[in-house]
Amino acid sequence: MFDHIAQPVSYQHIELPSLVHLDIKRLDLVHPQISGNKFFKLKYNLLVAKQQGLSSILTFGGAYSNHIAATAYAAHLFGLRSIGIIRGEELADKPLNPTLAKAQSLGMHLHFVSRNEYRLREDANYLQQLHHQFPETFIIPEGGTNELAVQGCQEIISQSDLQNYDVICCAVGTGGTISGLIESSGLHQKVLGFSALKGNFLQQEIRQWTKKQNWSVTHAYCCGGYAKTSPELLAFIESFEEQHAVPLEPIYTGKMMFGLFDLIKNNYFSEGTRILAIHSGGLQADIRNKSHQ
């Protein structure tokens, strides 16, 4: 039910003044609305919700969440109702931003909650309560990461990727995407994650999903935290877009590419290393020129 809506994924070679080889796998082009890694993360979740005969999907996110945008569209496409638990009760009285307006127009019921209530999003009792409030609902965690998401993300790596690359890079939020990449990677390959967030809890999250050890995550390029930016990051994104005609955004893919270029410049990779950078999409809510919440 999902695969037929996917566009064939293309690779883009990036010319570098360096002796490593870099290609970008353009998951941002896999679907115009269910972009990037979210397509793979949602796939089996929606399939299982349908198989279980449930009528709606419920999930969690901030006001600019790519996951909320993708879920609203995917649920709409597959005839499921969707409920978004959105962080920030004050938003209920304000005009909707483009992400939320689009989600609502696709039929998503937006349920704004306080930051305190939002913190309960993994609490078993709270989830039970949501099940009562919204019956016949399949609940997907914030960011979409669960076992079914990791299963879907294993399909990002193709047979030829196993042969053609030594290193696979991706942006990391909740760790679901990188876990799928690690699971499907070859043991001769290294999976390198660039965290969009501050803190070391991600290593543990990832170990929950994979026992393999051919990976690492760096926080060195998170620019101080989630959705934080720096003038260097923004300048890098602008010049990258100009030179290579690949759009990036500053929350995930911009930080990954910024970090990757820095590592390449500092000779982190040996000569001849073949690198595949996963473009995970996320272009629906570019926070640049907006004051972020």
Ligand X SMILES: *Cc1c(COP(=O)(O)O)cnc(C)c1O
Q: Is 175 in the site for ligand X (CB under 6 A)?
A: yes
Active site residue 65: yes
Q: Is 62 an interacting residue with respect to ligand X (CB under 6 A)?
A: no
Lookup: tokens for 209? 């999903």
Length of the chain: 293
Least Å from the CB of residue 182 to ligand X: 12
Task: For residue 52, count CB atoms less than 10 angstroms from its CB and return exposed for 0-12, middle for 13-18, buried for 19 or more.
Answer: exposed
Q: How far is CA 275 from CA 17, 141, 259, 265, 271, in A?
A: 15, 31, 13, 14, 11
What is the per-residue binding string for ligand X in 82-121, x denoting contact by CB under 6 A? Answer: ----------------------------------------
Q: Which of 18, 55, 56, 65 is catalytic?
A: 65
Angle, helices 176-184/37-51, rounded to nearest 10 degrees:
90
Tokens matching residue 141: 């965690």
Stretch that binds ligand X, among 77-85, 158-166, 174-182, 218-226 (CB under 6 A): 174-182
Question: Which range touches ligand X (CB under 6 A), out of 15-23, 49-57, 156-164, 171-179?
Answer: 171-179
For β-strands 274-279 and 167-172, DSSP reports them as parallel
Q: Which of 57, 171, 197, 263 binds ligand X (CB under 6 A)?
A: 171
Q: Does 172 bind ligand X (CB under 6 A)?
A: yes
* Binding residue for ligand X, selected from 46, 253, 255, 258, defined by CB under 6 A: 253
d(Cα 64, Cα 46) in Å, to the nearest integer? 22
Q: 286: which 2 tokens?
A: 């570019």
* 183, 185, 188, 189: CA torsion to nearest 10: -110
Judged by CB under 6 A, the stretch of 101-109, 160-168, 170-178, 265-273 that binds ligand X is: 170-178
Q: By CB under 6 A, which span of 9-17, 48-56, 76-84, 165-173 interacts with ligand X? A: 165-173
CA distance 158 to 156: 6
Give contact residues for ligand X (rule: CB under 6 A).
36-37, 66-67, 143, 145, 171-178, 252-253, 280-282
Name the residues annotated as catalytic: 65
